[in-house]
């Protein structure tokens, strides 16, 4: 059964729960460890959505889709290639992606619609077969990037800086559990126009493989996010734009860029 988990603000209190129609069923305890269902239901319209989880770390993949690799003339990597996005990048659904100061010099700011894995339990050195047991669910993400910064200095590729500006990691609006990620399609719309429309099953490394391989390098904790990478159709945003990342079964992540 698919469930949609959210974090939200209501009457100055941060809570979490599941969406039931136009209401939120409030839970208590820990979302990742035997959460307790209550009898409290709140109108969804009365809540302010927050990021559905608060990750200790966000890992973002590069060159993890065959179609984009072919377009860029890149061979599939032999192992996951990833970077980290810092906590200052985390942004809630409906909040505003802010134009970085460096963009005043004419640098373009790009959207990258992605599927994100939400870790549900601590895992270190797990196998691909057991990795799904450590996945809580999936959410939508936008790996915002100032592409021109990456190769600006030929002695040091600046991946973290290019993707680490304030507000550069919107994700949400929910964490969906009970989904088969291989059946999902990611669509990204800029001002209502579809710019990306690609199947998740084109990934070089599947969700289970990503969790397994990355867990060989570092311990993954509940709430951590793995952004699975993006495919063809990445483009730049102008201030005043609306960017939407849609994944059936999860929902739509909507943010303005100003």
29 and 70 housed in the same domain: no
The pLDDT value recorded for residue 102 is 85
Tens digits of residue pLDDT in 74-130:
999 999 999 999 999 999 999 999 999 887 767 899 999 999 999 999 999 999 999
Whether this prediction's pTM lies above 0.95 is answered by yes
Total domains in the chain come to 2
> In this predicted structure, what is the pLDDT of residue 104?
72
Indicate whether 22 and 149 sit together in one domain: no
Residues 68 and 194 in one domain: yes
> What pLDDT, in 10s, does the model give residues 164-205?
999 999 999 999 999 999 999 999 999 999 999 999 999 999
Percent with pLDDT over 90 in the chain? 97
Mean of the per-residue pLDDT values of the chain = 97
Strand ranges (E), 99-237: 109-111, 113-119, 135-142, 169-177, 185-190, 193-199, 225-227, 235-237
Q: What is residue 106's predicted lDDT score, i.e. its pLDDT?
A: 74
In this structure, what CATH number is given to the domain that contains residue 44? 2.30.30.370
Question: ∠ at Cα 69 (65, 75), nearest 5°?
Answer: 110
SS3 label, residue 12: coil
């Amino acid at each position: 059964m698919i469930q949609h988990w959210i974090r939200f603000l209501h009457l100055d209190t941060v809570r979490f729960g599941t969406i039931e129609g136009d209401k939120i069923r409030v839970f208590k305890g820990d979302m990742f460890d035997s959460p307790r269902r209550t009898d409290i239901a709140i109108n969804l319209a009365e809540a302010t959505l927050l990021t559905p989880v608060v990750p200790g770390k966000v890992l973002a993949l590069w060159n993890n889709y065959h179609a984009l690799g072919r377009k860029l003339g890149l061979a599939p990597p032999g192992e996951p290639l990833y970077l980290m996005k810092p906590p200052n990048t985390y942004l809630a659904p409906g909040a505003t992606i802010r134009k970085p100061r460096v963009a005043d010099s004419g640098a373009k700011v790009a959207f990258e619609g992605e599927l994100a894995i939400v870790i549900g339990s601590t895992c270190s050195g797990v196998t691909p077969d057991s990795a799904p047991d450590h996945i809580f669910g999936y959410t939508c993400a936008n790996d915002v990037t100032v592409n021109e910064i990456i190769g600006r200095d030929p002695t040091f590729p600046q991946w973290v800086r290019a993707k680490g500006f304030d507000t550069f990691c919107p994700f949400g609006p929910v964490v969906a559990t009970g989904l088969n990620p291989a059946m999902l399609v990611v669509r990204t719309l800029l001002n209502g126009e579809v710019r990306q429309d690609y199947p998740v099953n084109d990934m070089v490394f599947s969700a289970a493989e990503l969790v397994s391989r990355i867990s060989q390098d570092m311990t993954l904790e509940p709430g951590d996010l793995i952004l699975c990478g993006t495919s063809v159709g990445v483009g730049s945003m102008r201030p005043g734009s609306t960017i939407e990342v849609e994944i059936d079964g999860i929902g739509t992540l909507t943010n303005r860029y100003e």
